Amino acid sequence: MMRSIWENELTLDEFLLDKNRVNSEQLAGIRRVHAMEGGGWAGHFVDAGAVTENELLQLLMAETALPYIPVLQITVADDLRREFTLDFLRTFECLPIDRIGPVLTMATPNPLQPELFRSRGTSQTAIHLYLCRVSEWRECLRRLQEKP
């Protein structure tokens, strides 16, 4: 499944356009805001009111068959907090969860980002992705930011 997402290289904006969840006019506005503010796609679509967090989660679960993980109950390990900068986590809308041997587990509200695999996935390291809601991911980031 990981492989197919990676090879497909469909981004979230294209995906939502394909699924008719956003019209071209809305998309143009969101793209403009995205270009100005940066960050990840999922947050922009939710903030624009184009799609709700639950709808987005359901669409992505159906598309990718990735499982959902309740990230609010997870504490990110210290070594992973050091490894990933907050800028990276914000831009690529992800949260490292755990690293066991060669497997790095991450949660994201937007798995349609080839950069996620590219950044850490090598022949020695496999990335396992889980899905989460945008608000849950943001709350985790807020906690990471507040934690000294």
Partner 1 sequence: MTRLLRQIYMLPRFVRVRLIAAFALMGVIPVLAAMYVMTTRFGMARVQLPMMSVLLLMCLILACLGLHVMRETIFGVIDVSRIVQELMRLRAHDPRAVSASELVRMDRLVSYMGDQVRAAQRMLDAYQASVREETRPFRLPPLVPAALLRTRVHEELAQAEVQRIPIGIFTWQLGDVSAREVADETLVPSWLQDVLRHSGIVLDALGRMRPGHWIGWTQRLNSVEVKRVAAQMHKAVPATLADRVSLAAWSHPADAVELRWLYLDDVDKAER
Does 9 engage in binding with partner 1 (CB under 8 A)? Answer: yes
Does 99 engage in binding with partner 1 (CB under 8 A)? Answer: no
**Rounded CA separation 104/96 (Å):** 8
Q: Which residues pair with 104 in a beta bridge?
A: 99, 127
R_g over Cα of the chain: 15
The token pair that represents 26 in the structure block: 């809305």
Kind of pairing, strands 103-108 and 126-131? parallel
Output the smallest distance, CB 44 to partner 1, in A.
Answer: 8
Residues 6+ apart with CB under 8 A from 123: none
Beta carbon nearer to partner 1, 18 or 115 = 115
Binding residue for partner 1 (CB under 8 A) from 16, 27, 94, 134? 134
Output the smallest distance, CB 136 to partner 1, in A.
Answer: 5
Binding site for partner 1 (CB under 8 A): 7, 9, 29-30, 33, 36-38, 43, 46-49, 52-55, 72, 87, 114-115, 118-120, 122, 124, 133-136, 138-139
